[in-house]
Structure formats: structure tokens, C-alpha cells
Structure 1
Amino acid sequence: MRDVISGYAGRQLSLHALGLVVILSGVLVVAPLLPSIIETFDITPATAGFSISVLWGTNALVQYPGGRYADHLPSTVVLLLSQTLLVVGFLSLAISTTFPQFVLGLALVGAGYGMFEPAGMVLLGDLFDEQRGRAFGIRDAAVNFGSTLSAALAAAALTYNTWRAAFVPVALLLCVVLFSLHRVTRDSYTVSTVDLDLRNTAVRLFETPQSGALVAVTAMTLFAWQGTASFLPTFLHLEKGFSELAATLGFAGLFLVGTVTTPVAGALGDRWSHLRVAAVTTGFSVLGLATLVVAGRRLLVIFGLFVFAVGLTTFWPVIYVHLVGQLSGDTVGGDLGALRTAYFAIGSLGPSYVGLVAAKFDYSLAFGSLLVCFLCTGVTVLWLAEG
């Protein structure tokens, strides 16, 4: 592990991981705050789901241009711009007094985060070669740790202030990360226009059935991920009888498990097949979500949540490494950004879907129907692994 986090590459990885911790704590704090946000703005679950879809929809829209610019400009320039957008977005959420202002803040946060992700992957892909799986595992551990902190942030904000206060420390800490990146980087700040080259990128990504299948796999998984994670605290509280605090802790536990398991998944993918590891993790998702939906006893619900967390969080580091390995080195940022635009656009609809089904029926039916996504993903990944 020491050789992964040492030297200039290690400092960049550590700083990028810190940025992800801060960003994800702010992005995912919305989920445990959702009941209070619904009450404040007097909106329905369907409308709340729409607002979260705006967050992930704008995230999807900027993935491709963010990756494309990271291919042709120093990735640090794109990372600094993305963090600036995030600071403005989080401050907008902190001062929002109307629902449209709140949605605007979510859109800015989504755009900033959407630009940050592909630029960071280009950076790590350039810095790491043989140990890329471990580096991406650490990256995903940071994602899960930041997601875990979102629950603590929500609890503190609701206990000592209002839900809006949760976004203030996130904006301030991001300013620190932004300044630190400026001090550490060796890149020069060169800026120029970049041709997005949409047609050739689309041809490269969809020229084989396997590449199209990868888009489908990631889209289905993200659709289910966004839908379940966005409403998990609400589901545990309303459907499983958890208190609001216990439901928030359950949400935190989802990502706390991932903090431990994602580096393990990355290392296993380096040793064996990344796709085979992804297929196994999808099996955990199916078992965990099914148990979570049908279980009535508290202990079984917790077991289902644990198994679901293992599957849901370990899928992404191995599938990302496989994706990066399939792309050309000189266009990896744009190609990966285009892929992420495609599957994030579909995945962003997950919260709207769960909100609509929950409003018409209940959260159990909404969550249970997402098992189809995981089952299709598992079958497709096995086909890709054996192909």
C-alpha cells in the first residue's frame, strides 16, 4: 500500500481521495435530509425524486465534455474548475429559501461533480499503471467513506441547526482542497478550445456488441443504485420501522462497508478477472436487496443491508478498471466521459422512478422491482467475462 500512496503520484491520489470524501459527504447528505427537505418545501416523494434526478442528470451532461477536456488540457485545470462549481453549488443549497433555488443548487453540484469524476480518472490513469486496481480501489474507498460521513453530517445539522447548515462545512473544506491541489500540482495552467468530436467518440464506443453491453450494464446498475440509495433512509424509516436516527445510521452503514470492501475488490480484480469479480458482486446485490425487501425482523433487515452494501459498493472499482483498460490511452478521458454520460443519464432516472412508484404504491415494491436490473447486470457481466 505504501508504494501506492508515496511520491508525487501518491500525493495526488491522497488529495483526490480527500476531495472525493468532502464532495460525497455533501452530495449524499441529501438522502438522509430528504424527509426534512420534503417538509420544508411541502413537496411529494415524486417531486423530491425529481430534484435528485436533476442532480444526477446535470452530472451526466458534463461527464463527456469534462473527460474530453481532461484529455487535451492538464487534468488539474478541469479539477480546479469542477471544485469551483461545487463550492458555488453547495453555498447555493445552504442559502436556498425556495424549492427552485434548491434545485438550482443541486444542478450546480451535479455539474461540478460530473466534471470532477472523469478528470480524476484521467489523472489516476496517467499516474498509475500496474497498480491501477489498487489506486481505483482507494478512490472508491474514499467515495464510500465520504458517503458514510454524509449521515453524520446530516445528524449534526438536524440536531444543532437546520438541514441547510449541512452544506456550509462542505463548501469551506472544498476551498481547502482546491488550494492544496493548486500547491501540489506540477501541471501548468494552459487553456484552449477543444473539439468534442462526438461522432467519432460514439463510433468507438458502440462499434461492438460488447461495448454496448458495458453501457447497458453500468446504466442498469446505476439506475438501481441511485434509486435505492436516494430513498434508503426513508425506506428504512417508513417500511421497516427504524427510527430516523437508526435509518440514517443504516444509510451510513451501507457506505462504511464499502470503505473496507472496495480496496479488496480492486486487489482481487488485479489478481483475477475484473469482470468475474463484478459478476460475484452483482450476486451479493441481488441477495442483499431481496432480503432487505422481504425481511420483517430487524436482524434480517440489517443482514440484508450488509450483503447489499457489499455488492453495491464493490461493483464499481472493478468495472471502472475494466472500462479504462478497454479505452485508448489518448482518448480515455473523453471516451470514459461519454460512457458515463450515457449511463448516468439513465441512472439519474432511478430516484424519479422510486419516488413515483412509492407515491402510487410503496417503497417495498419500488425497491423490489429494481432486482430486475441487478439480475440482468449479472447475466450480462458473466457473458462478457466468458466472451
Structure 2
Amino acid sequence: MAQRSGRELLGVATAAFFVTMVARLAPSPLVPDIMDAFVVTKSEVGVALTGMWAAYALFQFPGGVLADRYGERRVVLLAMGATGVASTVLAAAPTFPLFAAFAVTLGAAAGLYFTAGTAFLTAQFEDTGRALGIHEIGASSAGLVAPVASAYAATRFGWRAGPLVPATVAVVVLVLFAWRAPRTPPADPGQSLTEQLDVRRLLALLARPSVLFTTVLAMVAFFTWQAFASFFPTFLVEYADVPTGRASLVFGAVFALTIGGAPALGWASDATGRDATFGASLLAGIAGYVLFLFAEGTAAVVAGTLLVGIGLSWPGVLNSRFMDVLAEDERGTGFGLVRTVVLLVSSLGSGVTGTIADRAGWLPAYGLVAGLMGLLVVLLVANQALGVDA
């Protein structure tokens, strides 16, 4: 593949991932305005947004099924179009029940993308780790851009302008992807939908040692990611006595670090191996949490921020590990299935962390996060010694 072509494909795929993440993050800064507009409570808005994220997790699997049947390119284009439409109707929702329904629809539309996009890049690039690491920039940059862009649009034009930000970008990315991405054939056009969704076949795939081990790693790892994303700024304010403004700055800095960290770890995983790179990232994250839990002062905050940023840059490495253990014709349906399982289980990270923090404090809450990361390191070492996933 020509260097220019490779860069273009990575660019449009990363932009597509960016769209799906911005669309899901855009409503968050608008919650107070949504409450006022529809005269509803925080919990009611929370239920709607929870439904959106649950739909995103559940539609990883259908996205994979469709990618296998019709080709990854078509599914990516469908996801971009559906995300743009869903964001638009969300902005126009006349009542809260419709707002909630459109939020769930938005989650489903965005959920179609990731499995197809990952399989698309895996088929286009030999250095899968590097490609999927760069792909993660879409999520990291969305975490920085979405809240600011959505809040700014809402301030200038009202809250309904917030969801129109991703709707507009989705149209642009849809056109670019259709223009630059090559057509992709179905993975197995002769396979019927019944064969594709055969329960025994899918359970056998999940039970395969290499897939099962990687799935366990991903469930625990994304659990810790969810714990960070949900409560880290609050943890800094209440436990580490960091002022609110500085806590937000640290939180944003961690995401900014992953913009460079994810491609770097992806490249390293291609050169030195997935597990060694993943383990090094986890050890950095553990060290960062230890600094935030037990050290004081500006130097500890700066060092902890850097280490936690490295410790959260592993998603591309784990996704590459999945691609390594899945056959080419399993990277749609198979990867979609494990993604749905992983995201549903790891979503418990928010509730568990918040509950422990309420009942026992932040030290055991984030001590558990660091401990789970340590458990992952132990599992990686054990696998290296015993060949658990052989």
C-alpha cells in the first residue's frame, strides 16, 4: 500500500471513530439545559444516557455481523449516516420520551462502527498495532473536543445546537470515507445468516483459549478505564485536595497524553509483542495511581498524570491482540461478539467504583483499580510461563 494511501485510510477511519465518540459525549455538558427544557430530573436524563451507552455496547455485535455479510466499508458508511441522522433528530426531539428514544438510537448507530472499522484497518495494514493505535486518537481527541464544542454551541445557539456538532461532522466524514476508502467484499458471502448466528459456533469461539483469555484481559482492563473516566476528577478533588479547575486540567491532560501514547504503544506492540507492551502500560498506570494515592505535591501530580496517561494508552494493543487470535472471517461477527461482552461487563466499573467510594472511601476505590491492573500483569506473566491461551 502506498504511504499516501495508507495515511488517507487511517485518517478517514480515525475521523469516523472521532464522530461516533463526539456524538456520544456531546449530550453530557448539556444535561442542565436538557433538564430545564423538558422539566426532568438528573436521574431521568441519566437513564436516557445509560440507554445510549448500553445500545452502543449491544450494537457492536450486529455491526460485526453486517460487516461480514456486506463488507466493512458499507457498514462504516451506514454508521456515519445513521449517527448523523440520530444526532439531528436528538436535537429536534419535542418531548423527553422521544429524546430518550433518539439517544438510544444514537448509541445503536454509533455502535455499528467500531467492529467494522477495526476489521477494515486490520485488512488494510500489516502493522496492525500501529494502525489501531493511531485509530484510538479518534476517541482521545473526541474526549478533549466534544465537551468544549458542544458547550460552546449550546451557549451561542441553545442546547439543541450541541448534538448538531457531531451531525455536521458525520456528513463530512461520510463523504470523505466514501471517496477515499476502497470497496471491501463480504468475508464469507456464501454463509447464511443462520450459520453466522449459530449459538454453538459463537460459544465455541468465546471458549477458545486464546479468545477467552484476551476477552478476560479486556473486560478487566476496560473496567479500570471506566472507573477512571467516571470518577477521576472527583477523586482528585475529594481525596487528593486538587482544586476543581486543576483536576479538570489533569483529567484532560491524561486524555491528551493518550493521543501520543496510543500510537506509540501500538508501534511498540508490533515490534516487541502485544503482551509485553500491554504489561508495561499497566505497570506505568499502577505507578501513577500509587502516586496519586500516597504522594503529595506538584511533582507527584505531574508524574502521576504522565504515568496514568501511559497506563490508559493500551486499547489499540488489546484490539490488535484480538485481531491476532481471530481468523480473517471471524473479525466481524466474532470481534463484534467479544466487544459486546467486554463493554457490557466493563460498564460495571462506574457503579462499582462509585459504590466503594461512597461506602469505604477513595483509597479502596482506586486501590481496587490499581489492584486489578496488577492482576492483569500477573495473568500476562502466567500466560507467558504456562501458555494459558495456547
User: Normalising to structure 2: TM-score of the pair?
Assistant: 0.84
CA distance in 2, matches of 1:117, 1:376: 27
**C-alpha spacing 1:318/1:186, structure 2 compared with 1 (3 Å):** closer
What residue in structure 2 maps to residue 327 of structure 1?
326
Aligned-residue offset at 1:87: 2.0
Q: 1:11 aligns with which of 3, 8, 11?
A: 8
Return the letter of the residue paired with 1:204: L
Q: Is the 8 A contact 1:154 1:166 kept in 2?
A: yes
Coordinate RMSD, CA, aligned: 3.3
Unmatched tracts of structure 1, length 5 or more: none
1:330-349 to structure 2, matched below 5 A, reads: 330-349=329-348
**C-alpha spacing 1:385/1:197, structure 2 compared with 1 (3 Å):** same
What residue in structure 2 maps to residue 266 of structure 1?
266
Whether 1:187 and 2:183 are equivalent positions in the alignment is yes
Return the letter of the residue paired with 2:335: L
Q: Is the 8 A contact 1:157 1:166 kept in 2?
A: yes
Whether 1:198 and 2:210 are equivalent positions in the alignment is no
CA distance in 2, matches of 1:63, 1:327: 16
CA distance in 1, matches of 2:47, 2:216: 22
What residue in structure 1 maps to residue 374 of structure 2?
375
Identity %: 24
What residue in structure 1 maps to residue 84 of structure 2?
87
1:309-320 to structure 2, matched below 5 A, reads: 309-313=309-313, 315-320=314-319
Aligned-residue offset at 1:117: 0.3
Aligned-residue offset at 1:284: 1.5
Aligned-residue offset at 1:97: 7.4
1:20-45 deviation per Cα after TM superposition (whole angstroms, max 9, x unaligned): 2233233345566678878985436x
CA distance in 2, matches of 1:87, 1:10: 25
1:205-224 to structure 2, matched below 5 A, reads: 205-208=206-209, 210-224=210-224
1:279-318 to structure 2, matched below 5 A, reads: 279-313=279-313, 315-318=314-317
Aligned-residue offset at 1:302: 3.9
Aligned-residue offset at 1:19: 1.6
Aligned-residue offset at 1:138: 1.3
Aligned-residue offset at 1:293: 3.8
Between stretches 21-30 and 184-193, larger displacement belongs to: 184-193
Return the letter of the residue paired with 2:148: A
1:164-214 deviation per Cα after TM superposition (whole angstroms, max 9, x unaligned): 543221111111111222233442899997342332022023132x43222
CA distance in 1, matches of 2:12, 2:101: 28
CA distance in 1, matches of 2:73, 2:158: 35
CA distance in 2, matches of 1:189, 1:321: 21
Greater Rg by CA: 2
| Number of residues of Structure 1 aligned to a counterpart in Structure 2 | 379
Aligned-residue offset at 1:257: 0.2
CA distance in 2, matches of 1:109, 1:151: 17
**C-alpha spacing 1:321/1:4, structure 2 compared with 1 (3 Å):** farther
Whether 1:178 and 2:174 are equivalent positions in the alignment is yes
Return the letter of the residue paired with 1:216: V
Return the letter of the residue paired with 1:183: W
Between stretches 324-333 and 282-291, larger displacement belongs to: 282-291
CA distance in 2, matches of 1:86, 1:349: 25
Name which structure has the greater RCO, CA cutoff 8 Å, separation 6+: 1
What residue in structure 2 maps to residue 132 of structure 1?
128
**C-alpha spacing 1:165/1:360, structure 2 compared with 1 (3 Å):** farther
Between stretches 180-189 and 273-282, larger displacement belongs to: 180-189
**C-alpha spacing 1:105/1:311, structure 2 compared with 1 (3 Å):** farther
Return the letter of the residue paired with 1:140: E
Return the letter of the residue paired with 1:197: D
CA distance in 2, matches of 1:243, 1:96: 37
Aligned-residue offset at 1:290: 3.0
Q: Is the 8 A contact 1:50 1:351 kept in 2?
A: no
**C-alpha spacing 1:189/1:135, structure 2 compared with 1 (3 Å):** closer
CA distance in 1, matches of 2:361, 2:87: 31
1:326-373 deviation per Cα after TM superposition (whole angstroms, max 9, x unaligned): 111122211111111111110122223334445556555533332232
CA distance in 2, matches of 1:103, 1:234: 27
Whether 1:69 and 2:70 are equivalent positions in the alignment is no
CA distance in 1, matches of 2:35, 2:351: 14
Between stretches 259-268 and 160-169, larger displacement belongs to: 160-169
Return the letter of the residue paired with 2:78: L
**C-alpha spacing 1:29/1:255, structure 2 compared with 1 (3 Å):** farther
What residue in structure 1 maps to residue 278 of structure 2?
278
Aligned-residue offset at 1:89: 3.5
**C-alpha spacing 1:326/1:356, structure 2 compared with 1 (3 Å):** same
User: Normalising to structure 1: TM-score of the pair?
Assistant: 0.84
CA distance in 2, matches of 1:258, 1:235: 20
Q: SS at the partner of 1:146?
A: helix
**C-alpha spacing 1:21/1:207, structure 2 compared with 1 (3 Å):** closer
Return the letter of the residue paired with 2:128: R
What residue in structure 1 maps to residue 254 of structure 2?
254
CA distance in 2, matches of 1:261, 1:57: 28
Return the letter of the residue paired with 1:206: A
CA distance in 2, matches of 1:224, 1:66: 25
